[in-house]
Amino acid sequence: MTTPLPFFLTPEAERYVRYALRPQSGLGLEAAMVRTLAYEARDRRGRVIMSFPWEFFHVGYFVAGDRPHALHVEMFGVSVSVLPQTLECLRGRTLILKKHVHRYAWLRRETMHFLVVAEQGQSSERGGAASLTSFR
């Protein structure tokens, strides 16, 4: 029997996470959810070309075994490594997908997507198809 995850995903965030968890061909990789406090990209000269100064959550594949204290939760049929602090931080909250467009050079722009916690009243639409089958 599965137990629901302690957090929710909007339908858009769920599609994003499902896509991020699609099977990978790299050996020695494991799926993981990582809490990140900010993001900054710089060009070759060291100039900031993109900045996202807020907390967000990244789902993807990382080197297996890099997080020995992580729990493993099942999300959409995939075992995902998540630190206990991350799960506690998300308890009872909803993750939404935030699009962040940054411009660089002349008339160039790039859109990046970030999973962030919804602020109160920002989105009451909740997914919930993610499930927790076991802690390991």
Q: Tens digit of pLDDT for each residue in 56-75? A: 999 999 888 888 889 999 99
Q: Which residues contact 13 (CB under 8 A, 6 or more apart)?
A: 95, 96, 97, 115, 127
> Is the pLDDT score of 130 beyond 50?
no
Nearest C-alpha neighbor of 86 from the set 63, 56, 66, 108: 56
What's the pTM? 0.76
The span from the CA of 81 to the CA of 67, in Å, is 8
Report, in this order, helix, strand and coil percent for the chain, each rounded to 5.
10, 45, 40
pLDDT digits (tens, 9 = 90+) for 7-60: 999 999 999 999 999 988 777 899 999 999 988 888 888 888 788 888 999 999
The domain segmentation of the chain, as residue ranges, is 3-122
Domain 3-122, what fold? Hypothetical Protein Aq_1857; Chain: A; (2.60.300)
Residues 89-126 pLDDT 10s: 999 999 999 988 877 666 777 788 899 999 865 554 44
The structure tokens listed for 78 are 């995939």
**Average per-residue pLDDT for the chain:** 82
pLDDT, residue 43, reads 82
Phi first, then psi, for residue 90 (nearest 5°) are -90, -10
pLDDT at 133: 29
Q: Is 92 helix (H, G, I), strand (E, B) or coil?
A: coil
